[in-house]
Amino acid sequence: MSAVKSHPYHIVNPSPWPFLSSVFAFAMAIAAIMYMHGSTYVPMVGFLIALIACSILWWRDVIIEARNGHDHTDEVRHGLRMGMLLFIVSEVMFFFAFFWAYFNAAIPAISFVASPTWPPEGIVALPTWDLPFLNTLILLTSGVTVTYAHHAIRLGDNKRAATGILLTVILGLLFTACQALEYSHATFGFKDGIYSSTFYLATGFHGFHVIVGTIFLTVCYFRTLKDHWTPESHVGFEAAAWYWHFVDVVWLFLFTAIYWWGGPI
Amino acid sequence: MANAADAHAHDDHGDHYPGFFSRWFCSTNHKDIGTVYMFVSMFAALVGGGMSWFMRLELAEPGLQYLTGGAPDMQFYNVLLTAHGFLMVFFVVMPALIGGFGNWFVPLMIGAPDMAFPRMNNISLWLLIAGLALLLISAFVGSGVGTGWTVYPPLSSSIYHPGAAVDFGILSLHLAGASSILGAINFIVTIFNMRAPGMTLHKMPLFVWSILVTAFLLLLALPVLAGALTMLLTDRNFGTAFFDPAAGGDPVLWQHLFWFFGHPEVYIIILPAFGLISQIVSTFSKKPVFGYLGMAYAMVAIGVVGFVVWAHHMYTVGLDVDTRAYFTAATLVIAVPTGVKIFSWLATMWGGSIEFKTPMLYAFGFIFLFVMGGVTGVTLANSSADLVFHDTYFVVAHFHYVMAIAAIFAMFAGWYYWIGKMSGKQYNETLGKIQFWMFFVGVNILFFPQHFAGLAGMPRRIPDYPDAYAGWNYVSSVGALITAVGTMLFFWILYRTYAAGTKAEQNPWGEGATTLEWHVPSPAPFHTFEDQPDMSGKQPAE
């Protein structure tokens, strides 16, 4: 905006997206409450779509700025990476609450008792070494493919990187499909007491994060095809990769705690 | 330090303001966003403060006089006290101290041209306003939210609050929480990544340190509240059983999750106040802060220990004796770093050339109130004693002294200290001093007698009480009236400052004010520090 600046930071022009996003978030909150109290879900979905549109336009601006060659200096990219890392830390604390709820219910029923009562009577827990273990392998493999893509970008080989990211996206979709299959085969529903509550909310929120990560990587796939990355500068991909590793690690905790330690007796 | 910045002050070409909508709704400027935060806070303070005056009116004498809505449950009174708590915590103190002063002065004090993520800064502001709107709506939906700000189930479950009001409250906090998390990320990255060359962490002004620690607390505590609120939402609307003992759930789980957030939250409120008071005490004593590093790391220590003391809010739920012994001991540990702060402020003043301007009076007031509340805090930290004090007016007096009124004093101190820099106009010193004394006398008459009522056994969160408590309650309500007049006087001073204030100098406080914000013109131009000052070889900003 101003004529001279000698610092390396990015002075951003005014933008309508934060304000519009907040307006739609507000409207969506009201529509969601109306839906929860018996009204139709249509307005809620409508405002959600508007919110997503705002996000897309916002990120579009960021990508344009990243590509113009002077806004995203080394210092700005350093800040963006730091911001993503902190966002992931806040996400970890979000899952912390669900794990707390789970252990609050499971520990008294498993540990320090003569005969464990977890899973509670009437709940047939999912077999640990079937789909859940397959899903573990899928996610661990996807961690390998995304790292392969990262190394390819560092070497300037965006073709191989695209292959790595595409494989990761496919594995992510496969995970989501397996999870859907698992839910459809579970003999306990969402409303069947504390086991179901902790199981579905924890794994459900994880599944939602997998979907978000998959979308993030899909965007990165198309950006790779357009050669948006250089070996030195590829913050968008790094953020997606970190997010994906975070989702992976959360799953390892879920698998160990819920499917294995608290699994079928 | 002065010359580097002063030399560049004149070539700030930053006064090209965008149009009205663009400037105030689509802003990416830390100063404009900070200003809107300040006004949001003042609006919420009028609403939330007004609610407390209505409650004091009802409590002025025994019997039910005015707030009889929802009898016999007195739901209306409960709605007022709930909204009062939410408003004051989330929409008055946090927006003013962190959103307002933090936004305005963190970049200025570290010599940064703006915040790290200017658009994210603006969505923090507008999500907060959206949250405020949802909260205000909740009071008009059905019979309102009468749960207290702690929202304990089963009172907050659909059995006792079947309408949509509590859902409005939950989503209001979700939006305010998202706002705070994004703001926290923004502050941390700004402070770590954008400091002027040579300004090491150990040279940062203590206000910046306080915002840094606060931002970490926000980042780690608020997502836990978001998780708990999500569980409450699904319990209420989708048939889960997290807090329903009939289906294996546990209402005490809510209390753990809530206070794991809630205790860091009270430090989130008071830490920026610490930082502010350090700047002001140093400025008006014309001395650097005593024990700068100790002051910085005392805040870090308070932040860390603040995460492991949460169950001292839950001594009466049936925790075993070992757990209560631990939480008592851990809580008392906090008195050590807090003592470091208090004594360092006193040592800063010791031998200083003290000038009693309004901000300094408010800093004195803050230290007095905070020590008062701190002493009752040590009392309440003892689990055995707390079994008796729990849910009495003693607790109400304690937390209003230690965090509520103390934080409000810091807000006033900061406003008087920085209004010249923010608006370019200086307040009227005489009126400022009168306003301080009215407020100081008012809040002490208001809250001090509540210790006595509480020790005599008066329960909190009730609109009526036995005649035995009538005397002190009457005194307390008189104090509320004085405080109310003091508040009105503040808004008059605010109006006079903008309408007819004298022009503020670049540095109205003289040699004691050494931090970087006093090296840019008043009002600070739209863009500052387009050339970052070189701070290498300089003393700590304090």
3-state secondary structure of B296: helix
* Amino acid present at A85: L
Query: What's the pLDDT at B11?
Result: 41
What's the pTM?
0.96
Instruction: Give the closest of B223, B256, B529 to A90, CB-based.
Output: B223
Query: What's the pLDDT at B13?
Result: 45
Interface ipTM: 0.96
Mutation for A interface: B171, B186, B195, most A CBs within 10 A: B171
Question: A42-51, A87-96, A122-131, B5-14 — which is least confidently predicted?
Answer: B5-14
Whether the predicted pLDDT of B5 surpasses 60:
no
Domain A73-261 in the same topology as domain A1-71: no
Whether the predicted pLDDT of B9 surpasses 70:
no
Nearest in space to B381 (alpha carbons), one of B306, B453, B452, B446: B306
| B185/A86 touch (CB, cutoff 8 Å), yes or no | yes
Whether the predicted pLDDT of A166 surpasses 80:
yes
Task: Give the number of A-B residue pairs with CB atoms closer than 8 Å.
Answer: 217
| A104/B250 touch (CB, cutoff 8 Å), yes or no | yes
pLDDT digits (tens, 9 = 90+) for B56-71: 999 999 999 999 888 8
Query: What's the pLDDT at B70?
Result: 83
Extract the tokens encoding B110: 């570290």
Confidence of residue A69 (pLDDT cuts 50, 70, 90): confident
Mutation for A interface: B30, B189, B214, B529, most A CBs within 10 A: B189
For residue B311, give Cα distances in angstroms to A43, A107, B307, B388, B396: 41, 19, 10, 16, 18
Query: What's the pLDDT at B17?
Result: 85
For residue A97, the distance in angstroms to the closest alpha carbon of chain B comes to 5
Whether the predicted pLDDT of A256 surpasses 70:
yes
Query: What's the pLDDT at A227?
Result: 96
Length of chain A: 265
Beta bridge mates, B392: B459
pLDDT digits (tens, 9 = 90+) for A201-255: 999 999 999 999 999 999 999 999 999 999 999 999 999 999 999 999 999 999 9
Confidence of residue B3 (pLDDT cuts 50, 70, 90): very low
For residue B397, the distance in angstroms to the closest alpha carbon of chain A comes to 31
Whether the predicted pLDDT of B405 surpasses 60:
yes
Whether the predicted pLDDT of B366 surpasses 90:
yes
The 3-class SS string of chain A reads CCCCCCCCCCCCCCCCHHHHHHHHHHHHHHHHHHHHCCCCCHHHHHHHHHHHHHHHHHHHHHHHHHHCCCCCCHHHHHHHHHHHHHHHHHHHHHHHHHHHHHHHHHHHHHCCCCCCCCCCCCCCCCCCCCHHHHHHHHHHHHHHHHHHHHHHHHCCCHHHHHHHHHHHHHHHHHHHHHHHHHHHHCCCCCCCCHHHHHHHHHHHHHHHHHHHHHHHHHHHHHHHHCCCCCCCCCHHHHHHHHHHHHHHHHHHHHHHHHHHHCCCC
Over residues B230-249, mean pLDDT:
97
Q: Which residues of B touch A78 (CB under 8 A)?
A: 193
**What is the enclosing helix (H) or strand (E) of B425?**
strand B425-426
pLDDT digits (tens, 9 = 90+) for B161-217: 999 999 999 999 999 999 999 999 999 999 999 999 999 999 999 999 999 999 999
Q: Which residues of A touch B23 (CB under 8 A)?
A: 14
B158 to chain A, any CB pair closer than 8 A? The answer is no
Q: Evaluate the omega torsion of the peptide bond into residue B72 and state whether it is cis, within 30 degrees of 0.
A: yes
For residue B536, the distance in angstroms to the closest alpha carbon of chain A comes to 16
Per CATH, domain A73-261 is 1.10.486.10: no
Which residues of B belong to the active site? Answer: 84, 114, 149, 179-180, 263, 265, 267, 278, 312-313, 338, 341, 460
Query: What's the pLDDT at B15?
Result: 58
What is the residue-averaged pLDDT of chain B? 95
Give the up-direction half-sphere exposure of residue B191: CA atoms within 13 A in the CB hemisphere: 27
| Cα–Cα dist A62/B218, whole Å | 26
Query: What's the pLDDT at A200?
Result: 97
Confidence of residue A8 (pLDDT cuts 50, 70, 90): very high
Contact (CB, 8 A) for A102 and A238: no
- Four-point Cα dihedral B262, B245, A185, A200, nearest 10: 0
- Nearest residue in chain B measured CA to CA from A10: B116
| Cα–Cα dist B181/B39, whole Å | 21
> In B50-112, where do the E strands start and end?
none
Contacts of A256 (CB under 8 A, 6+ apart): none
Q: Where are the domains of chain A?
A: 1-71, 73-261
What is the residue-averaged pLDDT of chain A? 96
| B230/A201 touch (CB, cutoff 8 Å), yes or no | yes
Whether the predicted pLDDT of A6 surpasses 90:
no
Over residues B313-317, mean pLDDT:
97
Listing DSSP states for B22-54 in one string gives HHHTS---HHHHHHHHHHHHHHHHHHHHHHHHH
Confidence of residue B7 (pLDDT cuts 50, 70, 90): very low
pLDDT digits (tens, 9 = 90+) for B450-461: 999 999 999 999
3-state secondary structure of B67: coil
pLDDT digits (tens, 9 = 90+) for B278-308: 999 999 999 999 999 999 999 999 999 999 9
Contacts of B183 (CB under 8 A, 6+ apart): B98, B99, B102, B121, B124, B215, B218
Query: What's the pLDDT at B540?
Result: 63
Backbone conformation region of residue B198, classed left if phi is above 0, alpha if psi is from -120 to 50, else beta: left
Over residues A175-186, mean pLDDT:
97
| Cα–Cα dist B523/A43, whole Å | 45
Extract the tokens encoding B536: 């290498």
Mutation for A interface: B114, B166, B193, B259, most A CBs within 10 A: B193
| Cα–Cα dist B534/B284, whole Å | 26
- Nearest residue in chain B measured CA to CA from A22: B127
| Cα–Cα dist B140/B4, whole Å | 55
Instruction: Give the closest of B119, B236, B248 to A12, CB-based.
Output: B119
* Amino acid present at B312: H
| B240/A190 touch (CB, cutoff 8 Å), yes or no | yes
Query: What's the pLDDT at A53?
Result: 98
Whether the predicted pLDDT of B541 surpasses 60:
no
Over residues A41-56, mean pLDDT:
98
Over residues A258-264, mean pLDDT:
95
Computed from CA positions of residues A11, A16, A21, A26, in that sequence, does the dihedral angle turn out positive or negative?
Answer: positive
Extract the tokens encoding B503: 């022009």
Instruction: Give the closest of B28, B130, B224 to A93, CB-based.
Output: B224
Confidence of residue A4 (pLDDT cuts 50, 70, 90): low
Per CATH, domain A1-71 is 3.90.550.10: no
The 3-class SS string of B309-329 reads CHHHHCHHHCCCHHHHHHHHH
For residue B286, give Cα distances in angstroms to B279, B436, B465: 10, 22, 50
Whether the predicted pLDDT of A2 surpasses 70:
no
